Amino acid sequence: MAILDDIYNATFKGNYKDIDGLVKKAVGDGINVHDIVNKALSAAMLEVGDKFGSGELYMPDMLLSAKAMKEAMEVLKPLIKGDSVLVEKGTVVIGTVKGDLHDIGKNLVITMAEGQGFKVIDLGIDTDYPKFVDAIKEHAPQIVAFSGLLTTTLANIPDHIKAIKDAGLRNKVVLAVGGAPVTRDFADRYGIEIYADDAASAAKEFIKVVQK
């Protein structure tokens, strides 16, 4: 449908000023909300992520697309009874690890995950160990994601994992980690199931978890 193509293109190009009207038109035309989310918004964000990963797009491009996605979701959320579209795939708890105040990467992962149909619980920056434990108990997520940009704060991740283990919750969640200094070897060393070096890859890995 032409309107879905228009929404896709607006999201891909980061045209956040016009996307509100396009989404409202699609809704007014009777297009299913699931189709708007999955065939236009989510698909566009995945392409943005892929092109960001390949170097064809840059961080400002991705941030503009993320803003367009958020504008679109503000229109759609009231139409999603019980957040059925957002939670149909599962729940992700995410936070920047204790001692780290960076959030751009985390916020991009949140946008990509929400765009793929996840409910995301954002614990913010400098997240202490008990906050992760409490969030797991409250929200029963399938995935818990650690974000870190500083090499020094990565040393706190084993303590985050220990807190989750000590609470008897480790076998209830899949762990994920990402950030500039993070490597696959680091993730493997601490038994972290998901490692992703960009937001789009993280969202794809999240989808694999709930499809198992």
70 class by beta-carbon count within 10 Å (0-12 exposed, 13-18 middle, 19+ buried):
middle
Last residue of a domain, one of 40, 68, 84: 84
Q: 137 with 188, same domain?
A: yes
Task: Give how many domains the chain has, as a whole number.
Answer: 2
Q: What is the mean pLDDT of the chain?
A: 89
Who's near 194: CB < 8 A, 6+ residues apart? 143, 145, 174, 175, 176, 177, 187, 202, 205, 206, 209
Amino acid at site 91: T
Q: Assign residue 65 the CATH number of its domain.
A: 1.10.1240.10
Q: 51 with 126, same domain?
A: no
- Expressed as residue numbers, the domain containing 68 is 2-84
Q: 58 with 108, same domain?
A: no
Most confident of 31-35, 50-54, 84-88, 186-190: 186-190
| pTM to 2 decimal places | 0.76
The pLDDT of 84-95, averaged and rounded, is 75
Residues 181, 135: Cα–Cα separation, whole Å: 25
Q: 105 with 194, same domain?
A: yes
Of 192 and 37, the one with more pLDDT: 192
pLDDT of residue 88: 63
Last residue of a domain, one of 34, 64, 84: 84
Q: 70 with 126, same domain?
A: no
Q: 12 with 47, same domain?
A: yes
Q: 107 with 198, same domain?
A: yes
Tokens of 45: 């964000």
Last residue of a domain, one of 60, 84, 108: 84
CB 99 within 8 A of CB 79: no
pLDDT of residue 14: 95
| Extended strands (E) in 27-183 | 90-96, 118-122, 143-147, 174-178
The DSSP annotation for 19-68 comes to: HHHHHHHHHHTT--HHHIIIIIIIHHHHHHHHHHHTTSS-HHHHHHHHHH
Q: 120 with 38, same domain?
A: no
The pLDDT of 14-18, averaged and rounded, is 94
**pLDDT tens-digit series, residues 94-132:** 999 999 998 888 988 888 888 777 889 999 999 999 999
pLDDT of residue 175: 98
CB 108 within 8 A of CB 116: no
The pLDDT of 170-199, averaged and rounded, is 93
Tokens of 186: 């680091």
pLDDT of residue 118: 86
In the structure, what pLDDT confidence band is assigned to residue 81 with cuts at 50, 70 and 90?
low
The DSSP annotation for 85-104 comes to: HHHSSEEEEEEEBTT----H
Q: 201 with 175, same domain?
A: yes
Q: 201 with 120, same domain?
A: yes
In the numeric block, the tokens 């400002």 are attached to 60
Q: 65 with 139, same domain?
A: no
Residue 172 DSSP one-character state? G
Does the structure show a pLDDT above 50 at 87?
no
Q: 25 with 59, same domain?
A: yes
